[in-house]
Structure 1
């Protein structure tokens, strides 16, 4: 069976998780894996003395060894190594299944209020391509995460990656309106958290990927990826500013997905 891995990445509140949810309704035989499910235990997340809090927005907060081994095993079952922890189980059919019940809460906002005709047309075009190329012997896995571009070994495991960018002010406004369910509790960012952790984490761990790494420029644009980086790792970038046309965005995403499939 062909396993197709698609990365979806961008800063927190860039729209990547919402788009992953929309894509999962369009793409057949599809499931989502969230990078957030690979956070290390809180005691192992780096504590920043200067900011007096744990830094959940740095690469050391994520168990990338487990994440990469999980993706590698799903894509190439022969790569499975029982000595390395991963979140898979033998399906009995020659491949492995991802078995974690995600800690990500169900997203009731997983819509850009797209026209139903746009979604139906996308489903039809994608299904025709997949049925023609792979018959019914395939599955698609979407990996949704905010630090995917940081790890080149991980990028090499993807068939291609979709990068969503948004300017600083829009990201901040969206993030500060969000509420999280942690266990059975409702949690919101403490005052100043976006500027202390979220934005610095995005900027610091992505600036080497941008054509212009001046922070003021990145704040205005969300960053523009270097072409050689995009070509090498098959990364496609999309702007998701507050005034973007939701239907046009989904159409552009589907256009890339169908071409790459």
Structure 2
């Protein structure tokens, strides 16, 4: 009996996780993609936490996200037929234990501070980063979330170095998803130009 295969691609900001998830989605016909960025709370939500001294919300914590709604959407989608592959993408999708337990493939893309900072400076965010935000929130929260994930679920998660070439990262994640889809009873896609066995 086949069931939905849920694959999570998480990790540091600017680590390549969104590119990996989008490429994976494009390569898997009929797959679905849920981005955690679509679940940020509106700026008016009282659950946001101000960063002391910055007069800016901390957007790099689970409390800035509506994870209940994300989980409800995952639950609703995976109750439909026929089953397929659902890709979850986001910097904290694996740090919510309820979501993590729904996943069959779990990948976390790491990054060192210097590379993360270099890439982050080339990105535009809404709302934009204020001066000091990377040092006060982005990097310390990333270190905290990675450490917590390793503590709670290191054996369940594949950690990949985000400094590797993006094509290599995509191949490694595809291999993880291929293993998971087999365990879910879903047929592996035939390679391009070839037939199935």
Contact 1:164 1:239 in 2 (8 A): yes
Verify: 1:12 aligned to 2:10, yes or no: no
Deviation at 1:200, TM superposition (A): 1.8
Q: 1:246 to 1:35 in 2, by over 3 A?
A: closer
Give the SS at the match of 1:154.
helix
Q: 1:11 to 1:31 in 2, by over 3 A?
A: same
Q: Which of 160, 164, 171 lines up with 1:238 in the alignment?
A: 160
Contact 1:163 1:235 in 2 (8 A): yes
Q: How many residues get paired?
A: 178
User: Within 5 A, what are the aligned runs for 1:1-261?
Assistant: 2-44=3-45, 45-75=48-78, 77=79, 95=80, 137-180=82-125, 182=126, 188-210=128-150, 229-231=153-155, 234-241=156-163, 244-261=164-181
Deviation at 1:206, TM superposition (A): 2.7
Give the SS at the match of 1:53.
coil
Deviations along 1:73-120, one digit per CA (max 9) or x if unpaired, are 222x3xxxxxxxxxxxxxxxxx38xxxxxxxxxxxxxxxxxxxxxxxx
Matches of 1:168 and 1:69 in 2, distance apart?
Answer: 34
Give the SS at the match of 2:89.
strand
Deviation at 1:258, TM superposition (A): 1.4
Contact 2:110 2:160 in 1 (8 A): yes
Deviations along 1:123-151, one digit per CA (max 9) or x if unpaired, are xxxxxxxxxxxxxx432211111112321
Deviation at 1:169, TM superposition (A): 0.7
- Which stretches of structure 1, 4 residues or longer, exceed 4 Å deviation after superposition? none
More strand by share: 1
How does the TM-score come out when normalised to structure 2?
0.80
Root-mean-square deviation (Å): 2.1
- Structure 1, gaps ≥5 residues long: 78-94, 97-136, 211-225
Bigger relative contact order, structure 1 or 2 (CA pairs below 8 A, ≥6 apart): 2
Matches of 2:154 and 2:21 in 1, distance apart?
Answer: 20
Deviation at 1:24, TM superposition (A): 1.1
Give the SS at the match of 1:24.
helix
1:129 maps to: none
Deviation at 1:168, TM superposition (A): 0.9
Matches of 2:58 and 2:3 in 1, distance apart?
Answer: 37
